[in-house]
Every structure is written in C-alpha cells, then in structure tokens.
Amino acid sequence: RGDVETIPLQLALEFRYADDASESDDCLRRLSSGGGGGGSTRHGAASALASVSAEAFKAALPCPPAPASGPVKLIVAEVSKELMFVGGRYRKLCRRLPQTPWILDGERRMDTSVEELISPAIVRLAKADSASFASAGREDVDVRMLGRGRPFLLRLLNPRVARLTAAETAALQAEINAADDRVQVSHLCQVNRAHCEALRAGESEKVKCYSALCRCTGGPPITAEDAGKLSGLAASGLVLEQSTPVRVLHRRTVAVRKRRILSLNLEPLPPDAADAGRLFRLRLRTEAGAYVKEFVHGDLGRTRPSLGELLGEGRQCDLLLLDVVDVELDWPHVGGDAAADSKADLKADPDADLKVDPVSDPDADLKVDPDADLKVDPDADLKVDSDVNL
C-alpha cells in the first residue's frame, strides 16, 4: 500500500550444537595467517574472513561443510530495527562540563556531560533502546566549544520510530536547548550511513580554530613586532613536533606527532589592561590532532617549538583560557526546512542568560576576568581525563 511506510528489520539467529566451538576454532586457525586466529568471536571470524579469498577458503575448508554431528538447537532469535542515525552540531558554553560521562578510578566526576544533556530526549522520541555518542573530536572539560559548534552523531539502537520529520527534529532541538543553557544544539536532523562515513572521513582532515588568553611570564613584554613575527612564521609553514603530552601519558602511546599551525595571530591586550604587555590573545588555525595547550606552555620541552621559543628573548607562556571557535567540517549536510530551522535557532542567541555572545565575539568571556578560572583550581587541567587533541 502506498500509505504504509516499510521498516527494515534485522533478524539475528544463534544456533549451537555439541561440536560448534571446536569446529569454529579449527576453521579460524586454518584461515588465519600464522595460525593464530582471532578466537571464536564475531570480531575474530570477521577479521579472518576479511583477508581470505574464495579460492583460499575452499582450499582450507570443505565446501559444502560436513553435516552436524548432533542435533542443532536454536538458542536465540532476535528481531530488531536497523540503526537510526541522528546528527547535528553542539556548542558547549561552560568550562566545567565533560563531553562524555567522566568516570575516574570508578568514581563519577561532575554531575552530567554533553552526551547526557543531548541524548535522552532523542532516544525518547525515537523510542530506541539506547544510543551511542560520537563526534568530530572532543574538547577538554575546561574548554568551551563555540561558533558553529562541533559535529556529533547519535547511533540509536532498535528505534521503534521509522523516521523523524523536520518538524519533530526542530521541536526536539528547541526542547534540548531550553533544558540546559550549558549546551546548545543546531542542525539536528536524521542522517544515513553515508553521512556517518563522511563524518568519520573528515575526522583526520578537519581544521580547528582556537581563541586563547595567554600570559607571558618571562622576558620582555609582548609587542606588535612580536605579533608580526609570529604571523609570518605561520604563513611560511610552521610544523610542531609534539611528544605525547604528560597529561595523557597514562593512556596514550608514546610517540612524536608532527602537526601544522596554519595561521597564528597574537594580539597584546590594550596598555591600560592589567599586566599590560604580559597578557595577550592568541588566535590560531591548526591541523586536526594538534595539542594547543602544549604548544603554548611547551609541556616541559615535549612540544617544539613552543610559543615561548618562537617569541624568543627568554619568554615563557602560560595558557589561562581556551575556546574552540570553529571546527571546519561541513557536517551534517541538511537541506530544506530542517536547515532553515536549525540556522534560525542558532541565531536566536541561546546565550542571553550568560551575558555572552560567543558567536559574534568568541572572546567576550575572555574580557570579563582573565583569571576567573585560575581562582577555582589552577591545576584543573592536570586532573582532566578526556581524550582530546587540543
């Protein structure tokens, strides 16, 4: 019937019999190069089969296989819907919020997260069992995500709703944005697997833009000549060599990564500001994976050159505040009313209660009190445990 929407279903059947474990292990040993195999798991079987040609498979195993040596039992039969994907962009407007639940040594840190402020309403509307959250990178707990926001994706497991309309996603977006002023979403829409692949492919190619408030703690004050020198270095091609930062050594492989700084702009604060000539604003564009915090302070010599080394004359720099002001990845690709609704919502100034307009002026917060975060906990960054490449 033309008025009935079809819903693709997945049927999962699990059969077992007495010798299935030994036979599958033997099968994987024959197929795997080196004889190691991946074990009797779905991942092990997929890994073994992915690299084997049809000819090699027939040479290693009887085709067709021998009949089962005993009765075959149906253990599990599950019917579920195919995954539903919902994408959008989020802005994080505070400096004490992790992207995902922060569990450290089995203990919950902070009351909620970006994921938990976005996901529940979408899971409820789609009538899904659960959802997994993914995004184009992540920012640290004490770093805001401003501008257009960061692309994110929700994979909804077993949704009972076939499709989300533009009106439904617009209402859902408004609901999420009204619930908590720490996180705002835009461009919310249902996407497909091709969009998911585009997000994954863009992960390593995206460019990120930052605005940082910094302090020069050694050497002479910062001058306009210093600013011009830095801009010229970036324009001619500035490549950083960054060893795995100290703050993530406990969970990251030790390696030296080369990342490019694409543009660099240093702006000394006005002469009448506190610490004139010492405080400055840094705006930069970088390749994905660059550690901006470590570029500023040098990370005990693990990032070369550091900002202080580039400025010269014995200068050292500290980072006080950091914002991501853009993730240059055109995702999700939406059209029609959904795109118009999302753009209208972005311009509605959801930050009015914060007395900050991060879209038109990403540095507004930096002008209020450059030492505000330092009064809370100067070592907060050392305690952060999130997988961010800043």
Is residue 112 located within the same domain as residue 101?
yes
Q: Is the residue at 311 inside a domain?
A: yes
| φ/ψ (deg, to 5) at 343 | -65, -35
pLDDT in tens, the chain (390 residues): 455 566 778 888 998 888 888 877 777 777 765 444 445 566 767 777 777 788 888 888 888 888 887 898 999 998 888 899 999 999 999 999 999 999 888 899 999 999 999 999 999 999 999 999 999 999 999 999 999 999 999 999 999 998 999 999 999 999 999 999 999 999 999 999 889 989 988 877 889 999 999 999 888 888 889 999 999 999 888 999 999 999 989 888 899 999 999 999 999 887 665 676 789 999 999 999 999 999 999 999 999 999 999 999 999 999 999 999 999 999 997 553 343 344 434 433 333 333 333 333 444 444 434 333 333 333 333 333 334 444
The strand pairing partners of 259, in sequence order, are 240
Alpha helices in the chain (DSSP H): 20-31, 42-50, 54-60, 114-126, 166-179, 193-202, 224-235, 292-297, 307-311, 336-347, 372-376, 380-383
What is the span of the domain harbouring residue 123? 82-205
Compute how many other C-beta atoms are within 10 angstroms of the C-beta atom of residue 149. 23
Is residue 190 located within the same domain as residue 232?
no
Contact 291, 306 (CB under 8 A): no
- Tokens coding 318: 């500290």
Q: Is the residue at 380 inside a domain?
A: no
Is residue 200 located within the same domain as residue 103?
yes
- Among left, alpha and beta (phi > 0; psi -120 to 50; other), residue 137 is left
pTM of the model: 0.73
Is residue 259 located within the same domain as residue 285?
yes
| φ/ψ (deg, to 5) at 88 | 180, -165
Cα–Cα distance for residue pair 325/343, rounded to 1 Å:
17
Cα–Cα distance for residue pair 361/373, rounded to 1 Å:
19
Is residue 213 located within the same domain as residue 322?
yes
Q: Which residues are the active-site residues?
A: 140
Is residue 197 located within the same domain as residue 236?
no
Q: Is the residue at 287 inside a domain?
A: yes
Specify the number of domains making up the chain.
3
- Tokens coding 325: 């002001």
- Tokens coding 97: 């919020």
Q: Which amino acid is at 256?
A: V
Q: Show the CA angle centred on residue 216, arms to residues 211 and 218, nearest 5°.
A: 160
